[in-house]
Amino acid sequence: MALRGVLRAGEVCIRVMDMALARRHYGDRMGLHEVMQDEAGQVYYKAWDEHDHHSIVLREADAPGMDYFAFKVFDDATLDALELRLIAHGIAVEHIAAGVYPHSGRRLQLLLPTGHTMQLYAHKDQVGNSLGLTNPGVVPDEGVIRGFRINRLDHLLLGGNQLDACVRLFTEVFEFDLSEKLVDHASGMSLAVFLSCSTKPHDIAFVFQPDNKRFHHVSFLLESAQIVIRAADLIGKYRISVDVGPNRHGITRGATIYYFDPSGNRNEVVAEGYVHYPDTPTLVWDTREIGHAVFAQDNVVRDSFLNVLT
């Protein structure tokens, strides 16, 4: 296929305040597969249908939030080309040697205009999804798909006050598309922007916050809206704190549930949404329809959804 360059969100490192509770949440409840614990005590997870070694890293800390996120790129040549483009854009780039991050090749690290730490890498060891590569079939062994039945890491939403600068960086340097945005009706100010490097409605998004370096949520893909409802049953069964129950976004059209891990980090499970192509026009929403834009089934924007970030 023609998809090259930046491929997808490949890794998010989340700070948790109690590793035992976090393991129960992300592993036992959500159903991610724990693949290793390093010497520093960080715990690594993958979803069942991800081939790469891991996509989620948990680090025990005094406060919740996100340490960094990383996007996987097509190959080393892409990594080299992106470094030159970042420098030309005025972004400082730090080199991280292969092996510093487990099962990973060399990385580039940079700070976004919103203060978030982003990494780029071309290689991560692949361990498979249990189906194999020859005559793989469609259903893994019993017990491989469990919990919320998460297929993979999908996207993340970050908060800060430099949204337009982030749009320029991601569109001009990384060649993402600005798929959708929410603007203030009176001023035209960007309140939320959604960027895609694939055929998904978004691979990363930013929401306006007065302070930079805020973490809104990490999102996990489920197979269908029906599986989203099944996840809601388990969220209720395990008394997991819910921000927004089953609903559908106007922006991206995704079927969604938002809930919190034991440390207060927001998670999302999502399914469906539309197919994005490079020639799809940018869809623009404004604050006259903010309720429908954010939660299209009840048209209500929860105060917590706008203001609770870690």
What confidence tens digit (pLDDT) does each residue in 16-30 have? 999 999 999 999 999
Given 3.40.50.880, 3.40.50.920, 3.30.70.1170, 3.10.180.10, which CATH number is that of 6-121?
A: 3.10.180.10
* Cα torsion angle, 93, 97, 102, 104, sign: positive
Q: Residue 167's CB: how many other CB atoms inside 10 A?
A: 19
pLDDT in tens, 43-75: 999 999 999 999 999 999 999 999 999 999 999
- Determine whether 259 is an active site residue: no
Query: Which of 155, 180, 216, 276 is labelled catalytic?
Result: 155
For residue 104, the surrounding DSSP H or E stretch is none
Contact 42, 12 (CB under 8 A): no
Catalytically annotated residue among 249, 259, 272, 276: 249
Which of 258, 259, 272, 276 is catalytic? The answer is: 258
Rama region for 27: left / alpha / beta (φ>0; ψ in -120 to 50; rest): alpha
pLDDT at residue 288 is higher than 90: yes
- Which positions ≥6 away from 90 have C-beta within 8 Å? none
Give the residue-averaged pLDDT of 101-130.
96
Please confirm, yes or no, whether 53 is among the known catalytic residues: no
Report whether pLDDT(1) > 80: no
Average pLDDT rounded to a whole number, residues 99-121:
97
Q: Is 258 designated active site?
A: yes
Identical fold, 6-121 and 154-307: yes
Per-residue pLDDT, averaged over 103-124, amounts to: 98
Query: With the C-alpha atoms ordered 263, 264, 270, 275, is the resulting torsion angle positive or negative?
Result: negative
pLDDT at 2: 63
| Residue of 11, 50, 268, 272 marked catalytic | 268
Fold classification of 154-307 is: 2,3-Dihydroxybiphenyl 1,2-Dioxygenase; domain 1 (3.10.180)
Is the pLDDT at 3 greater than 90? The verdict is no
Tell me if residue 95 is catalytic.
no
* Lowest model confidence (mean pLDDT) among 38-42, 182-186, 305-309: 305-309
**Average pLDDT of the chain to the nearest whole number:** 95
What pLDDT is attached to residue 130?
84
54 is catalytic: no
Return the percentage of the chain with pLDDT > 90, whole number: 91
| Catalytic-residue membership of 202 | yes
Closest CA relative to residue 287, chosen from 156, 192, 164, 161: 192
Q: What is the mean pLDDT of residues 185-204?
A: 95
Region 79-86 average pLDDT: 97
Domain residue extents for the chain: 6-121, 154-307
Confidence of residue 302 (pLDDT cuts 50, 70, 90): confident
**Rounded mean pLDDT of 273-295?**
94
The token pair that represents 186 in the structure block = 């009176």
